[in-house]
Amino acid sequence: MLSGVLTEISWRWTLLVPAPVAVGVLAAAVWLIPGGERSGRGERRFDVPGALTITAAMLLLVYTVVSAQQAGWGSARTVGSFAGVAVLLGVFAAIERRSRDPLVPFGIFSSAALRRANIGAVTLFGTYISFQFLVTQYLQTLSGWSAMSTALAFLPAGVMVVILSTRMGSLLGRFGPTPLTALAFICLVLAYGIFLRAGVHPDYPAVMLPASLLVGLAFGLGFSSLSVAATAGVPNSEQGLAASLFQTSFQVGGAVVLAIVTAVVDAGGAGQLSPASASATLAAYRPALALITAVAVIGMLVALSGLRSQPDRQAGLADGLAAGDLAELAVGLAGGGPANDLADALAAGRVPDGLAPSGRADGLAAGGRADGLAAGGRADGLAAGGRADGELVGCPALQQAADVADGGTAA
């Protein structure tokens, strides 16, 4: 809504307003967010060559895609720029392999959940922002809507995102990120498919409203669930790296997909058509919308592939419950990812920090019980098919296992 108001004044205001808002958020964060303990870097050094190389590669990639529609996709400048991107990425890979403290240890990509989350970030935000651009062109250029009317048309999607943002914590706790991500992309594909029916004259009740609601539902579900999936299963020391990779995929994906969609619109000749030729202009928009839908379908297939891996994790849960083996149970809960440290600790006969109430494992170390954990890595009640004695404080994974034993499900 604010963007619509600002555009009515001057579109330049839409570029000015985010700056003071960002400064205000930064100041509030410094004031309100409590500071944590600083972790010592020890002998670690910043990977300056790697940071400079990958930054240059990403900037050149975005610039090449954005400028290709003016220079021509087959022009020497465009082809040379893409070659430059490939060279920079190759140099970056070589630097990372030789660096003692690499900026991006490539082993982090062994996490299938992280790979799916980054592909999901590219496809979700890339199609989301491209769809907004295309619909804005459709409403204002083709149908003559004002900036305020266009903002009101998008309002249901924003309302849906706001509503979901207050409930995502409970939804993620109940269902987990993988099913919610799959549902988000199904909604996204349905929304774009519905809008493919758009005609020369906008049909808000039958086309635009359901598409807008579905897009809002998709983004509200998808952003939070992908954010959780991107960092789940990643060691604490690499949580910041995983989050940064996810945000990079989000931003670069948005820029690249939008640039390609814009190029498709221009290739269709929409910019050269007169407003009077509404049918021809709409025909020029359709290939771009089809491309957006195809990219969303790729994201949906990747998200659905995550659902196929869940039976394997459930089998690991069953094995752990049947054997009463907490290490196997932990690995089953995470599919070999998030609980690796937990499994290693249990196999060594110790309880990780925070597993037992007050962070103590004295009972287990003494050969006894540590408030709900039995010596030897067995939980009272789990082996018998019931609940573990005591509250499994500080260990959501084992509490989920107890819920499974009670007949529930683990996210």
pLDDT tens-digit readout, 119-135: 999 999 999 999 999 99
CA 165 to chain centre: 15
**Rounded Cα gap, residues 399 and 360, in angstroms:** 17
Spatial CA neighbour of 155 closest among 203, 205, 212, 194: 212
According to DSSP, residue 43 is labeled T
185 or 70, which is more confident: 185
Least confident of 26-40, 292-306, 382-396: 382-396
Q: Helix H segments across 232-276? A: 239-267
Q: Name the average pLDDT for the chain.
A: 77
Q: Report the phi/psi class of residue 223: left, alpha or beta, with left for phi > 0 and alpha for psi in -120 to 50.
A: alpha
List Cα–Cα distances, 36 to 33, 39, in angstroms. Answer: 9, 9
Q: Which residues contact 367 (CB under 8 A, 6 or more apart)?
A: 375
H-helix or E-strand containing 196? none
Spatial CA neighbour of 390 closest among 380, 404, 376: 380
pLDDT of residue 311: 56
pLDDT of residue 95: 94
1 or 201, which is more confident: 201
pLDDT of residue 367: 40
pLDDT of residue 280: 79
Spatial CA neighbour of 161 closest among 250, 223, 91: 223
pLDDT of residue 264: 87
pLDDT of residue 300: 95
Per residue in 301-358, pLDDT (tens digit) is: 999 998 876 655 555 445 544 554 444 444 444 444 444 444 444 444 444 444 444 3
pLDDT of residue 164: 92
Q: Which residues contact 375 (CB under 8 A, 6 or more apart)?
A: 363, 364, 367, 368, 369
214 neighbors 188 (Cβ within 8 angstroms)? yes
List Cα–Cα distances, 255 to 56, 75, 166, 189, in angstroms. Answer: 15, 21, 28, 20
Spatial CA neighbour of 291 closest among 142, 123, 121: 123
* φ, ψ for residue 331, nearest 5 deg: -65, -35
Q: Report the phi/psi class of residue 369: left, alpha or beta, with left for phi > 0 and alpha for psi in -120 to 50.
A: beta
List Cα–Cα distances, 178 to 87, 113, 250, 298, 386, in angstroms. Answer: 35, 9, 18, 16, 27
Q: Residue 378's beta-bridge partner residues?
A: 374
Spatial CA neighbour of 402 closest among 310, 354, 330: 330
Give the chain's length. 411
User: b/e per residue, 121-153, with b = 16+ CB within 10 A?
Assistant: bbbbbbbbbbbebbbbbbbebbbebebeebbeb
Q: Which residues contact 160 (CB under 8 A, 6 or more apart)?
A: 213, 216, 217, 220
Q: Residue 379's beta-bridge partner residues?
A: 373
221 neighbors 164 (Cβ within 8 angstroms)? yes
**Rounded Cα gap, residues 144 and 149, in angstroms:** 10
348 or 227, which is more confident: 227
